[in-house]
Amino acid sequence: MPSERIIRIGVLALQGAFEEHQRSIESISSTIKTVQIRTPDQFDDIDGIILPGGESTAMGLIGDATDGLWHALRTFVHRGDKPTWGTCAGMILLAERCVGTSAVITKGQSLIGGVDILVCRNYFGSQVSSFEMHTPPPPAPCCAGEIDELRDFDTASAFPGVFIRAPAILTAGSDVEVLGKVVAAPCRSAAVVLRELERKIEAGENVTQMGVVDALERKGGGIRYADVRLHKETNASAEGCCFEEEKKEVTAMEESTNIELPGASDGTNAREVICAVRKGKVLCTAFHPEIADDLRWHKYFCGMVLAAKNESKE
């Protein structure tokens, strides 16, 4: 098989579900190979890279501690000539802004950046709150005619999105293409973060990163959960977004989707959030496609890689 026909996709292998991504990618076609990326010198030999789900804080700590790795990854992503795909924790790393970052990191979440999105870390809850829900399918992959396995692509059926300690995209810049949205309530801790975020935006602050916020109230020696229902409509025109829908709209969405998530906050906090975006050659998904028994998102990314490789030959 001619080497120019082989697509080589790197998978960042610091922590998380990198082996699951490898199995998914390599099961598509014998012309698509994967390599685990752990050192900066490996970026020259790949046609695209996947940042897997896992623990974004741990990935950032390991990446920062590995000489030259984070710089090489940033260079690869921001150069923009080869595709990058971040899933769940990988999506957090690719965000320009993030709220609900880990309380154990004093200098802030170590982000790669590259996509103008505001991400709420752990929006859907803790590990025990993991769930699966229907999400929009990806578009048909580019260059499907060049690899037989990319043909006959189903763009109509919902994709089984698996959410494990998953983030949500709250806002996306004008140059970011939204590929999927879902309606869901934030978990209790995320709802408190969102309430604090809205307070900061109302005060005119430009929030880039914000840590977790205590969801408990302590009065008279007793401890109880804070009321995290969002009552007041907020017009955050400075950020180009509005985090709180009108109550009638929220009620209508809840009735139409009937989503009940474990660990969700009290009240009518269900809102539409973004779960998949693309900016140029960078793809982000909040869920874990590598765990689902469905290869459509992996095929879509392979189409992106193939298109970019063909573009480089022109």
**Residues belonging to the active site:** 88, 288, 290
| Token pair belonging to 3 | 């080497």
Cα 300 → chain centroid: 16
Cα 279 → chain centroid: 13
**Using CA atoms, how far apart are residues 70 and 59, in angstroms rounded to an integer?**
10
| Token pair belonging to 123 | 């929006």
Q: Give the SS3 label for residue 27.
A: coil
What contacts 24+ positions apart, CB below 8 Å, involve 70-79?
70/110, 70/112, 71/40, 72/40, 72/43, 73/12, 73/43, 73/49, 73/112, 74/112, 74/113, 74/114, 75/43, 76/43, 76/49, 77/112, 77/113, 77/114, 77/282, 78/113, 78/114
Instruction: Output the CA angle 85-89-94, nearest 5 degrees.
Output: 50
Is 63 within 8 Å of 14 (Cβ atoms)? yes
Helical ranges in the chain per DSSP H:
18-26, 56-65, 69-79, 89-94, 188-202, 247-257, 296-313
